Amino acid sequence: MQIWEVKLTQPAAMGGDAYTSNPEEQIVVDRIYTAIMEQRIAPKTKLSEAKLCEVFGVGRMRVRRALLLLASQGIVDLESNRGAFIACPSPKEANDVFTSRMLIEPQLVHGLCIAAQSPDLSHLEEHIKLEHAAHADSDRSHIIRLSGEFHVKLASISGNSVLIRIIRELVTRTSLIVGLFGDSGHSSCPDGEHASILAAIKKGEPSEAERLVFEHLQHIHSGLDLSRSKPQRPDLAKVFGMA
Amino acid sequence: MQIWEVKLTQPAAMGGDAYTSNPEEQIVVDRIYTAIMEQRIAPKTKLSEAKLCEVFGVGRMRVRRALLLLASQGIVDLESNRGAFIACPSPKEANDVFTSRMLIEPQLVHGLCIAAQSPDLSHLEEHIKLEHAAHADSDRSHIIRLSGEFHVKLASISGNSVLIRIIRELVTRTSLIVGLFGDSGHSSCPDGEHASILAAIKKGEPSEAERLVFEHLQHIHSGLDLSRSKPQRPDLAKVFGMA
DNA sequence: GTCTAATAATCTGTGTTCAATATAGTGCAC
DNA sequence: GTGCACTATATTGAACACAGATTATTAGAC
């Protein structure tokens, strides 16, 4: 089932949505995106329009557009006359996200074994080195974000912008879920599994890579305790470094 | 790889995005959605804010939110200071959409063979009857929309709201693509293939169902001529029946 | 007659203002 | 002392108005 047509070696920027071109509000979206990816912002956190305006120094219009965009991706909840809140995924939502990822990503990597070329692979190797460095520094924010980005970069190799967007959204929601239900002790992606996935791709073993990705996601999923949830309300100005 | 947890037999309404709760603007989104699904509105069509306001009888705010939502799904293009236009997918985008569908839907149906229960299947049978009726009546709009909806309803059986949303978006974009590059002669989904897919699910043959879905998508894809494109500019009031 | 340039009109983008709703605080009653 | 009701404040939602940009139209020149 080799179904790859076009390729794209370039980084394929973390944030950009490609569709909504306005660069101003994309900044707001990206900042919130990465804040969630790094788990510096907890579910249920209220995203007050006024505060976001002064933190990012943009008009209320832009903030509202950004919030709507995030809401359409299930990353924030928009409650009428109450405001925007970082989404607090239900156990069912958590399962749905993981199920979707387990459905898509193994197949994706299967195809990658055929399509991936050396520049792509060395790029991934580079990324894994960054992950190890972050582990060495015990830099929690970086560890978590890089873990997620690995999956996005995997998708980026396909050059399929549709898939890339889907994966990015799922990865971000996963960050929320892991932050909510995960054991704050161990990191979201078990270290070493990314490396073995990459190794399987390198060796050109589609079935093996597919299986490793599936199990990798299963490991993360099984590390969750879906009965628990921990509410918090950090200060927005601190989270975003009062830009 | 049976990865199904929750099920949901109910229809799982065609339109609703589940996330953006505001019912007012969801109407606008849905109307444009179905207009695209029925191919009554062609790519490059300008969606003037003012006209949409009077056609749907809602404020400009709502219209703009709806357009932003549609833009985030790649269904309309938002050009700065120029307005909103129905997206005109490039050949690469078309390939990306089909590649994504061929990656996701076969796996989805594979899982469905294990999870699907009789109410789901009879619901699908009902749907296929509708498709046949539309064929008998040569009701082009219905034929096209029902063809797309079949795939959404397949996804709905999973009860996975994340997957449902992904599939709905891909199906809608497919409608745009088929309208652009497809031979206006034969319909978007070859008749009969839906029935054989359902039959494979009923018999509980995952690999067979998976293969049929893949080939089904391949048939649609191969029926496109990606070199051609046909510009039009129909009147909005007519398309939406001047509601 | 056609092409170019300038002007006018239309439409989008943005900031502002006002109304509606929810929340928090206060006071009163039990 | 606790619970309920009412008031006051703050925040969101929507309409309005204005500024900027783009497109269409018209006039003029070659």
CATH number, position B101: 1.20.120.530
Q: Is residue B7 part of a domain?
A: no
Same structural domain, A135 and A28:
no
Chain D positions within 7 A of any protein Cβ atom are: 11-15, 20-23
Same structural domain, A95 and A206:
yes
Count the neighbouring beta carbons within 10 Å of the beta carbon of residue B113: 19
Count the neighbouring beta carbons within 10 Å of the beta carbon of residue B46: 13
Same structural domain, A113 and A167:
yes
Same structural domain, A164 and A137:
yes
Q: Is residue A10 part of a domain?
A: no
pLDDT for position B69 = 93
Instruction: Select from A35, A54, A88 the last residue of a domain.
Output: A88
- Of B8 and A36, the structure prediction assigns the larger pLDDT to A36
Q: Are strands A83-86 and B83-86 parallel, antiparallel or unpaired?
A: unpaired
Q: Is residue B86 part of a domain?
A: no
Find, among A122, A90, A93, the residue nearest to A202 by Cα. Answer: A122
Look up residue A185 and give its two tokens. 């002790």
Q: What's the rounded Cα separation, in Å, for the pair A1 and B242? A: 47
Q: What percent of chain B stands above pLDDT 70?
A: 81
pTM above 0.75? yes
Look up residue A45 and give its two tokens. 């956190």
Residue A6 predicted with pLDDT over 70: no
pLDDT for position B185 = 58
Same structural domain, A61 and A119:
no
Q: What's the rounded Cα separation, in Å, for the pair B50 and A70? A: 26
Q: Is residue B67 part of a domain?
A: no
| A79: containing domain | 23-88
Find, among B218, B187, B227, B220, the residue nearest to B92 by Cα. Answer: B227
Query: Mean pLDDT lowest for which of A17-21, A34-38, A123-127, B166-170?
Result: A17-21
Question: What residues of chain A have any CB closer than 8 angstroms to a CB in chain B?
Answer: 1, 3-6, 17-22, 65, 68-69, 71-74, 77-80, 92-93, 95-97, 99-100, 102-104, 107-108, 111, 158, 160-163, 166, 170, 214
Q: Is residue B243 part of a domain?
A: no
Q: Is residue A39 part of a domain?
A: yes
Instruction: Select from A88, A110, A131 the last residue of a domain.
Output: A88
> What's the DSSP call for residue B39?
T
pLDDT band at A27 (very low <50, low <70, confident <90, very high): confident
Same structural domain, A134 and A185:
yes
pLDDT for position B180 = 86
pLDDT for position B107 = 97
Q: Is residue B27 part of a domain?
A: no
pLDDT for position B233 = 44
Same structural domain, A165 and A72:
no
User: A70: domain CATH number?
Assistant: 1.10.10.10
Residue A233 predicted with pLDDT over 90: no
- Of A24 and A117, the structure prediction assigns the larger pLDDT to A117
Residue B229 predicted with pLDDT over 80: no
Same structural domain, A214 and A146:
yes
Tell me phi and psi for residue B74, to 5 degrees.
75, 20
Average pLDDT over residues B173-188: 79
Q: Is residue B62 part of a domain?
A: no
Please count the structural domains in chain A: 2
Question: Hey, are the CB atoms on B103 and A111 less than 8 Å from each other?
Answer: yes
Sheet strands side by side (includes B46-47): B46-47, B83-86, B76-79
Q: Are A141 and B77 spatial neighbours (Cβ–Cβ below 8 Å)?
A: no
Same structural domain, A177 and A215:
yes
Residues A33-56 pLDDT 10s: 889 888 888 888 999 999 999 888
Same structural domain, A158 and A206:
yes
Same structural domain, A46 and A107:
no
Q: What's the rounded Cα separation, in Å, for the pair B227 and B75? A: 20
For the ranges A6-15, A206-215, B43-52, the maximum mean pLDDT occurs at: A206-215
pLDDT for position A210 = 96
Q: What's the rounded Cα separation, in Å, for the pair B151 and B173? A: 13
Q: What is the mean pLDDT of chain A?
A: 84
Q: Are A144 and A188 spatial neighbours (Cβ–Cβ below 8 Å)?
A: yes
Residues B197-219 pLDDT 10s: 999 999 999 999 999 999 999 99
Same structural domain, A33 and A103:
no
